[in-house]
Chains A and B, each alone.
Chain A
Amino acid sequence: MKLKIVCMSMALFLAGLVPLMAQDDDDDDWDIYGDLELVDDSNVKRYARPTIVGLSPTRFFSLSYDRQLAYTMNLSAARFPASGNSGWAVDEDAPVSESGRVNFTGGVRFNSNIPVISKSNLVWQSGLNYMRVGYNISDINSQSDASGLTQTLDERGLNNLNWTNTFFVPISEQNFFIIQAGLDMSGDYSWGLQPFNTVRWSLAAVYAKRVSESKRWGLGLARTYRVGNLNYVPVVMYDVTSANRKWGTEILFPARAHGRYNFSKNSLLLFGYELEGQSYRINDFSVGNNSYEIRRGELRPRLEFQKQVSGPFWMHVQAGYRMDWTFNADELEGSREFFRGFFGTQQFGMVNNLSNAVYFNIGISFVTL
């Protein structure tokens, strides 16, 4: 009997040791893990990741201040082609009716990009954005037919409210779609906003391939207001990071294209350009249900330094040259948008020119690492 008890005790003791020993064995023999099979291998699908290594961090929230140094603004008289078809031809150099020195252009910018759904098979991010472009204009020189736009800009400035939704839809381990849709209300409005039929929409769709953890490219099409007027343009995405992770590109042509140098994981430099623009309704010039809109478009070659401040908080300092792409105006009959593109002949309501200027932008962001 005693022997039986001893034997049983030994057996229990050894049985208790087996899992411990097995655990140690597991740790030494890594190969056994390669032979394991999924308990349930139905519906297993692999998806491409949304990013590659080395990219500048994605901003969840960003607050920045943008300012242009002084420049000269030259404006033509305002005409109303929609009602009388008497505007300025697209290739016409209209005489200057009003000019001024713009001492200040800029203001606060707030951007958000909140993940609504963030899974391996779908990422949906939604963001509300606000951009202020205030003006301080002096030395105004007006002819008798001047529109008074300098005074309007000086007193009211321009505002943009934007709601953007971005969808990342992977279809395989390498291939994915990026779809981005935006709504913009832009104008010289204040708290009362402006008619909702002046809300403009943008859309971009890109088919892309994540070739490796350090390279992805894509091709697509966009309906955009990047340079003021409505336009349809092809989109080329090309993001790559070098093997040593120091150099790279972040390109979404034509909207922006940057080279990148990573000083470390906590700081980087971007060098390239961005196109920026919107169609801004000027309330005093909008007669009846028509919408008189400044097609503001800028090309901004620039340098941007980004640095981690603490944890997910990063700061950026940007300096560059603001080049006037267009500041012309259109009258939209019934507030309905029209397409001029690169080759349309529709007349302008105003033909304006801004001299180019140095600008800077400084801001802080809450980012994903």
Chain B
Amino acid sequence: MKKLLAVVAFLFSSAFVMAQDADALVGVWEPGHGKARVKIDNIDGKYYGRIVWLKEPNDPNTGKPKTDVNNPDESMKNVPLRGYRMLKDFTYKGKGVWEDGTIYDPESGNTYSSVITMKDENTLDIRGFVGVKTFGRSDTWRKLKIN
């Protein structure tokens, strides 16, 4: 009985530690270009990131808030960029790696497969790729302090 309790306790504690590690991704992050900030949340065990800040929030041509004008889907072109969910469906695979997600590039309107690797608690390596990881590009994201 004691052994069973010990195993159950170990499993629970492992799951707790895993969830803690996985949620290290939760927070507000700044991509390498510094023109946007993205808030990553855990929603039902998967991780999603929304654009919450833009260095240039308004379109210089119209003076109105930027929308997703480059989206190939016509119905999305009027959706505001601020609040746009650009990271989707990441699941934690352990050892600081989140996979099976996608990243959307508002500048080109393209969506790429993506993998996130935590380099340290304040730095992410986010790789977008086509097909296999080799055919992609990595960017470094940095964590922002939440007061």
Tell me the complex Cα distance, A368–B136, Å.
8
- Residues of A118-173 contacting chain B, CB below 8 A: 118-120, 123, 173
B70 touches A37 (CB 8 A): no
B137 to chain A: which residues have CB within 8 Å? 115, 118-120, 123
B94 lies within 8 A of chain A by Cβ? no
Interface size class of A (residues with CB under 8 A): 35 or more
What is the 8 Å Cβ interface bit string for chain B, positions 30-69, against chain A (1 contact, 0 not)? 1011100101010000000000110000000100000000
What is the 8 Å Cβ interface bit string for chain A, positions 221-255, against chain B (1 contact, 0 not)? 00000000000000000000001010000000000
B61 to chain A: which residues have CB within 8 Å? 243
A311 to chain B: which residues have CB within 8 Å? 130
A265 lies within 8 A of chain B by Cβ? yes
What is the 8 Å Cβ interface bit string for chain A, positions 345-369, against chain B (1 contact, 0 not)? 0000000000000000000001111
B82 lies within 8 A of chain A by Cβ? yes
A44 touches B145 (CB 8 A): no
B134 touches A114 (CB 8 A): yes
What is the 8 Å Cβ interface bit string for chain B, positions 121-141, against chain A (1 contact, 0 not)? 011000000110011111110
B110 lies within 8 A of chain A by Cβ? yes
B131 touches A312 (CB 8 A): yes
The residue in chain A whose Cβ has the minimal distance to the Cβ of B30 is A38
B146 to chain A: which residues have CB within 8 Å? 36
Interface segment among A46-54, A76-84, A273-281, A290-298: the answer is: A46-54
Q: Contacts A44-B142, A46-B33, A265-B72 hold; do A368 and B130 have CB atoms under 8 A apart?
A: yes
A39 touches B142 (CB 8 A): yes
Tell me the complex Cα distance, A366–B130, Å.
9
Q: Contacts A39-B122, A115-B134 hold; do A49 and B33 have CB atoms under 8 A apart?
A: yes
Distance (whole angstroms) from the CB of B40 to the closest CB of chain A = 12
The residue in chain A whose Cβ has the minimal distance to the Cβ of B31 is A120
Q: Contacts A26-B39, A243-B61, A369-B130 hold; do A47 and B107 have CB atoms under 8 A apart?
A: no
A30 touches B30 (CB 8 A): no
Which single member of B34, B41, B52, B112 contacts A369 (CB below 8 Å)? Answer: B112
Tell me the complex Cα distance, A312–B52, Å.
30
Q: Contacts A47-B32, A53-B70 hold; do A119 and B138 have CB atoms under 8 A apart?
A: yes
Which single member of B107, B138, B143 contacts A120 (CB below 8 Å)? Answer: B138
The residue in chain A whose Cβ has the minimal distance to the Cβ of B130 is A312
Tell me the complex Cα distance, A47–B34, Å.
10
- Residues of B78-103 contacting chain A, CB below 8 A: 82-83
Tell me the complex Cα distance, A250–B134, Å.
26
Q: Contacts A119-B138, A213-B107 hold; do A38 and B143 have CB atoms under 8 A apart?
A: yes
Distance (whole angstroms) from the CB of B100 to the closest CB of chain A = 17
A265 to chain B: which residues have CB within 8 Å? 72, 109
B108 lies within 8 A of chain A by Cβ? yes
A40 touches B122 (CB 8 A): yes
B116 lies within 8 A of chain A by Cβ? no
A36 touches B144 (CB 8 A): yes
Distance (whole angstroms) from the CB of B97 to the closest CB of chain A = 17
B53 touches A33 (CB 8 A): yes
A123 to chain B: which residues have CB within 8 Å? 137
The residue in chain A whose Cβ has the minimal distance to the Cβ of B144 is A36
Distance (whole angstroms) from the CB of B47 to the closest CB of chain A = 15
B142 to chain A: which residues have CB within 8 Å? 38-41, 44
A344 to chain B: which residues have CB within 8 Å? none
The residue in chain B whose Cβ has the minimal distance to the Cβ of A369 is B110
A271 lies within 8 A of chain B by Cβ? no
Tell me the complex Cα distance, A40–B122, Å.
7
Among all A-B residue pairs, the 6 with the closest Cβ atoms: A33-B53, A36-B144, A369-B110, A118-B137, A120-B32, A33-B52
- In addition to A30-B83, A115-B134, A118-B136, 17 A-B residue pairs with Cβ atoms within 8 Å of each other are A33-B28, A34-B53, A36-B53, A36-B144, A36-B145, A38-B143, A38-B145, A40-B122, A44-B142, A46-B32, A47-B33, A119-B139, A120-B139, A173-B33, A265-B72, A266-B72, A312-B130
* 7 A-B interface contacts by CB (under 8 A): A26-B39, A35-B147, A46-B33, A120-B137, A120-B139, A367-B130, A369-B108
